[in-house]
Amino acid sequence: MNQAAEEIKTRVTMQMALDRYGLTPDRKGYLCCPFHQEDTPSLKVYPGNKGWHCFGCGRGGSVIDFVMALFNLNFSQALVRLDEDFALGVCGCTATKRERQKARQALAEIAARKAGETYLKQVYETVYRVMLTRYRRLTETFRSCRPDAPDTPLTSAFVEALDWREYTEYWLNENNTFERWKKGECGLGGYQRIRP
């Protein structure tokens, strides 16, 4: 068993496992840990066969440890899972039907979480662009329709710009990152109002 484990660790990198199981680290090798709730990526994936470590929950180890935690498997089940997923032919045994079903279900859950996060990011980017465009238009209207003298009557466009410009600027400042928008920290919507 130890020989099979060493061969799997040598042949399967963490990056290969992440790609296979639908997880994508950022340029620096960080991703949101799938083992606890977090908004800021704290799981570091080291290059090659150097493994991983989560600075949030403290878990870490080799690619085998990652698969054990990801799919809630024991050591030998994780070896079989990696052997089958990467067609290594190292273990010479196959997983039971129940184990394969459990692993497929875990993969489907990971894919669903990732798809939901991607959808929310697209919604955020669209909403932020719309609000930014609105702010620019309101600012332009505010400047171009400003009265020249105190006795000049106010136009409806100027009044609207006056009413909404400050709120729009506040919204943009409070929702300047996806994470803040998702949490709804500013109390102006965000993820709480737009759930997929």
pLDDT of residue 192: 45
Can you give the C-alpha Rg of the chain in angstroms?
Answer: 25
The predicted model scores a pTM of 0.51
Specify the CATH class of 2-95 in words: alpha beta
pLDDT confidence bin for 100, thresholds 50/70/90: low
Across 145-162, average pLDDT: 87
Across 65-87, average pLDDT: 86
Locate CATH 3.90.580.10 in the chain. 2-95
pLDDT of residue 66: 92
pLDDT of residue 187: 47
Q: How many CA atoms lie within 13 A of 8 on its CB side?
A: 29
pLDDT confidence bin for 93, thresholds 50/70/90: low
**DSSP states of 55-104 as a string?**
TTT--EE-HHHHHHHHHT--HHHHHHHHHHHTT---S-----HHHHHHHH
Instruction: Write the CA distances from 117 to 11, 114, 127, 182, integer angstroms.
Output: 31, 5, 15, 10
Residue 131 has pLDDT above 80, yes or no: yes
Across 129-153, average pLDDT: 89
